[in-house]
Amino acid sequence: MQIEVRELGYTYSEGLPFATTALEDVNFTIPGGEFAAIIGHTGSGKSTLLMHLNGLMKPTKGCVLADGIDINEKTKEAREARRKIGLVFQYPEYQLFEETVLKDVCFAPKNYGFTPEECEEKAIAALKLVGIDPDAKRDVSPFELSGGEKRRVAIAGVLAMEPQVLILDEPTAGLDPKGHRDILNMVEQIRRDRNLTILLVSHNMDDAARMADRVLVLDKGHLAMNGTPREVFSHHKELHEIGLSAPSSSELLYLLKEKGLNVRTDIFDEDEAAREIVNALK
């Protein structure tokens, strides 16, 4: 499913003395099946943007189109389109509430009126997708799981809706390095298995560079950059001006270049960067 954002604007408390513009004239298109990373400083409008992408917030200007359908229309098609856009909030495990893992994952499909059998089928498929063994864990209370498992179950709750677009707001926040890698590998696996369009909000430039086809940079409610990781991270100086940076390898290469070493700066992989440095030193 393709997501298109057209001249999107949002002003909090519009018309009141405290009116604050959170988004202004944001335009981008993410073709179906693409992996996009959204980066930006706190307060850049990332969360406001995310909430517009599945209709949780309604734009004060412009629109959001899913495969050409304006998701804020009051039609059956628009409602159906919204259902296909799944949003995983930050710390999604705080939203677990049911008595058992299976019931929790079934909650959304149940609300959309699927039969109990259909709900269970969808929930079991979703649990498998996030790497939770449905046979072992279905009747366990979600509150007895480890932190990493809870987060997976919460994500399964969104996947049970069988979305075609998956939006994740910093899914690795608070996890240790292994948990971090595991969740990102899971996202890539889900994307391959279900051919989803992915939007990932991240503060980690290394992850964005490694995983994304496209990087969107938000700054003060505006879309400041939109391109491949290579294009976006070549704007080193501009990124620093808005409080962001390039991936660590690239940052080191920029530092070396400044000191007079003749190296390429568009390398995001540590091993490749190491080889580039060795070659330049010869």
Q: Which pair of structure tokens corresponds to residue 106?
A: 């079934």
What residue type is assigned to position 6 of the chain? R
Taking CB under 8 A as the rule, does residue 146 contact other proteins?
A: yes
The least CB distance from residue 152 to other proteins, in Å, is: 13
> CA 1 to CA 180: how far, in whole Å?
27
Among 179, 186, 213, 238, binds other proteins (CB under 8 A): 179
Smaller CB distance to other proteins: residue 113 or 177? 177
CA dihedral 105, 110, 111, 113 (to 10 degrees): 150
Smaller CB distance to other proteins: residue 59 or 142? 142
Write the interaction track for other proteins spanning residues 152-171; mark x where CB under 8 A is met and - where it is not.
--------------------
Taking CB under 8 A as the rule, does residue 203 contact other proteins?
A: yes
Which 8-state DSSP code applies to residue 16?
Answer: S
Q: Which pair of structure tokens corresponds to residue 180?
A: 């971090």
**Which residue from 159, 172, 160, 239 is spatially nearest to 200, judged by alpha carbons?**
172
Taking CB under 8 A as the rule, does residue 186 contact other proteins?
A: no
Interactions with other proteins, residue window 7-66 (CB under 8 A): 41-43
Q: Are 139 and 120 in contact (CB under 8 A)?
A: no
Among 171, 249, 267, 268, binds other proteins (CB under 8 A): 249
Task: Map tokens 């405290």 to a residue.
Answer: 18
Among 174, 185, 189, 193, binds other proteins (CB under 8 A): 174
Q: What are phi and psi of 6, to 5 degrees?
A: -120, 120
The least CB distance from residue 11 to other proteins, in Å, is: 16
Residues 44-74 as b/e (b if ≥16 CB within 10 A, e otherwise) read: bbbbbbbbbbbbebebbbbbbbbeebebbee
Smaller CB distance to other proteins: residue 102 or 119? 102
Taking CB under 8 A as the rule, does residue 175 contact other proteins?
A: yes
> CA 21 to CA 50: how far, in whole Å?
15
Taking CB under 8 A as the rule, does residue 256 contact other proteins?
A: yes
The least CB distance from residue 271 to other proteins, in Å, is: 7
State the residues that interact with other proteins by CB under 8 A. Answer: 41-43, 143-148, 173-179, 203, 243-245, 248-249, 251-252, 255-256, 259-261, 270-271, 273-275, 277-278, 281
